[in-house]
Amino acid sequence: MHGWERLCRYAPFDLSERKPKAIRNISALERQCKLLESLDVRALKRKFERIASALPSDDDVTVAIFPGDPDDATVNERQNGVVGGSTFGNMYIRANPCVEGYEDWIGYVFAHEYHHAVWGNYWYVLHGGELENKLIDALVIEGEADCFALDFYPMLKPQWLFGMTEAEIAAIWEEKYRPAAEKTDVDDETYMFGSAAQGIPWCAGYAVGYRLVKTYLSAVGKSAAEILEIRPEQLLRELTEMGRWK
């Protein structure tokens, strides 16, 4: 089985569009490959296993690391050169070793995507897609994944979570997210990644989702690994009833 096919072996449909695009800048690619050779794969695997032990899964997980796109300014400048994606239980990580400090972000992205894999298996496989794909579902799944990752990397400060002030997050919630939170006919990509045309800052959905989940965890005294089974709309309802979220 070829590498990409192995990554997608659990997928219920074709995921070709998620396959990382080829890097045309050959000199940059060669430099990245040389630097990536210095990665301590065994140490990285131990980190992955420690993270996975906090949220066990019955499935074997395959992780592929690809060189990062040297021309993707957003990833290289705002996401520390590392970005990941899920393929229904497995995952791929694109890492640009030319970005300083990228190694820790590989572990962070693994934790984030691993949480997605376990969360998705719980709700969409074991429980047959019981969620209704409301905007609040997207907010909470990303918020839980980031809270889970930060449990292992508390020294990191993702720009997509901390690039807005608390006042800005409260304002954007009230204006944009609260009215749409329980709707199913919204464009998740716009609300999660932002849209200048819609007046939504870059990755505002991630910042809002993180605050929602972090506030809930503080209120109930639990970790992100312990709330897998709570429905996103229930999380929001409980927060509101406790007076912890307006």
Look up residue 45 and give its amino acid.
K
Q: Which helix (H) or strand (E) holds 215?
A: helix 204-220
Dihedral sign for Cα 171, 113, 146, 234, please. Answer: positive
Question: Structure pTM?
Answer: 0.95
Q: Is 194 exposed, middle or buried (0-12, 13-18, 19+ CB in 10 A)?
A: buried
Q: At what angle do helices 204-220 and 135-152 cross, to 10 degrees?
A: 70
Q: Please state, in angstroms and rounded to a whole number, the distance separating the CA atoms of residues 135 and 170.
A: 17
Per-residue confidence (pLDDT) for residue 2, from 0 to 100: 65
Positions in the chain whose pLDDT score sits under 50: none
Asked if 18 and 83 count as a contact pair (C-beta separation under 8 A), the reply is no
Per-residue confidence (pLDDT) for residue 60, from 0 to 100: 84
Asked if 87 and 10 count as a contact pair (C-beta separation under 8 A), the reply is yes
Beta strands in 59-193 (DSSP E): 63-67, 82-86, 91-95
Per-residue confidence (pLDDT) for residue 124, from 0 to 100: 85
Helix (H, G, I), strand (E, B) or coil at 4: helix
Per-residue confidence (pLDDT) for residue 130, from 0 to 100: 82
Helix (H, G, I), strand (E, B) or coil at 80: coil
**Distance between the two ends of the chain, CA-based, in angstroms?**
51
Per-residue confidence (pLDDT) for residue 11, from 0 to 100: 86
* Residue 72 DSSP one-character state: -
| 245: nearest Cα among 147, 169, 182, 161 | 169
Token pair 């298996």: residue: 121
Q: Is 139 exposed, middle or buried (0-12, 13-18, 19+ CB in 10 A)?
A: buried
Token pair 């999660």: residue: 192
